[in-house]
Copies of this chain bind each other. A is one copy, B any other.
Amino acid sequence: MDQPVRHDSMRARNLALVLGEVSRGGPLTRAALAEATGLTKTTVSKLVGDLLDARMVTEAAAVRDGERGRPGVAVSLSGDHLGALGLEINVDYLSVCVMDLTRSVRLRRTQAVDNRYSISTDVARKLRKLALEAVDEAGLTIGGAVLAVPGPVDPARGLLHGAPNLGWRDIRPAELLDLPVPVAVDNEANLAALGELWFGSGAPDFLYVSGEIGIGAGLVFGGALFRGTRGFAGELGHVVVDPGGPPCRCGGQGCLERYAGQDALLQAAGLLPFGTDAEPVGGRGPAGIATLVERLRAGDGRALDACEQAGRALGVALISAVNLLDPGTIVLGGVFAPLFPWLSGPAARSLSRIGHAAPRLEVSAVGPDAASLGAAAQVIEQMIANPATHLSRA
């Protein structure tokens, strides 16, 4: 009984070796793959055959194998068959992204919607519809999904401990979604940080700050996420800016979110009446921030003051974050990206008070759907690290 099991696990390991090389360095000939993996050419040919059958790789035009030898057929990842689903539930939008195995985005959908104090099953139903439509339109076979949510998550149990801005507590969102593929759950700032790592500047050490209704952060250190003991690290939005400040939905007082979160910003700029049921002037989701940017460009005093205050508070919270985490650089994403020209100055001035040299503030190059992008890419990473489980889906 032992023999076939051992054979299977060795085959799985070797498939991962070959696909990993193709993913990192492809297109590669079978000969180059044999050299890179240390496997025989016969074994490589058999494995490449399996990956071709599974449509995970494709054969490109003949290439010359270095200077010597005859031309070989190059193997590269195939974007035509398998794909991954990145999903996000945030406070004022839902987002879906379909990515193929080559990490090309095939389709992105964002829907503005007010999820404040929402019923989780209703939100899940809306996202399910959006996701199924996107999968249908993209025409790929989806190997798995990761869902980004705005609160601390225990990824092993798929448990969202709490999302104060949604009014949710101890929820398993993947079960509510009920999609026909496995769905993992993670924190949106963590996934947005992975989006920045894989699709942004490519720096291995940075603190990604995700500005939304809530504010989260993902610390990438040595090319990997630092998650803390329970997976709750990076909750920048609840770093205390003023212990005597206004109460926060988390139960605390004077949290950064109350000064620099999207609602706080729009309220200070006169674009969002106070009160949770109020309708913002410029519209929900990206529309509200677009209106704020228009006013900032027009030199509107209230809008400029709002960004000055928010930037200063962000800088104060970042002093604490830099003192505790010592990140390589700080990348501002989410709604902080379009507001960067107005926020970064006051934030940098606050931050310059720090004793030693403060890290540079940078604007995220990834865009507002960094989290669903990072989510989909995480599925692709796992598919490439473990291709054997996807062979049967071909």
Residues of A in contact with B (beta carbons under 8 Å apart)? 152, 161-162, 164, 205, 217, 221, 226-244, 250-253, 316-317, 319-321, 323-328, 350, 353-356, 359
Cβ–Cβ contact B319 & A236, under 8 A: no
B residues in contact with A240, CB < 8 Å: 240-241, 316-317, 319-320
Candidates B243, B316, B324; contact of A235 at CB < 8 Å = B324
Query: Number of copies of this chain in the oligomer?
Result: 2
Given contacts A240-B316, A241-B240, A242-B242, contact A253 B353 (CB under 8 A): yes
Closest Cβ neighbor of A329 among chain B residues: B229
B residues in contact with A233, CB < 8 Å: 324-326
B residues in contact with A230, CB < 8 Å: 326
Tell me what chain A mostly uses at the interface: helix, strand, loop, or mixed.
loop
B residues in contact with A320, CB < 8 Å: 239-240, 317, 320, 324
B residues in contact with A321, CB < 8 Å: 324
Given contacts A252-B319, A354-B251, A355-B164, contact A326 B229 (CB under 8 A): yes
21 contacts between A and B (CB under 8 A): A162-B356, A205-B229, A221-B228, A227-B326, A229-B327, A229-B359, A233-B325, A235-B324, A235-B355, A236-B324, A238-B355, A239-B324, A240-B317, A241-B243, A242-B243, A242-B244, A252-B319, A253-B353, A317-B320, A320-B324, A324-B325
Given the complex of chains A and B, what is the CA–CA distance between A237 and B323 in angstroms?
Answer: 8
Report the minimum CB–CB distance from A220 to chain B (whole Å): 10
Closest Cβ neighbor of A353 among chain B residues: B252
Cβ–Cβ contact A356 & B161, under 8 A: yes
Cβ–Cβ contact A326 & B253, under 8 A: no
Cβ–Cβ contact A228 & B327, under 8 A: yes
Closest 3 CB pairs of A and B: A228-B326, A250-B355, A235-B323
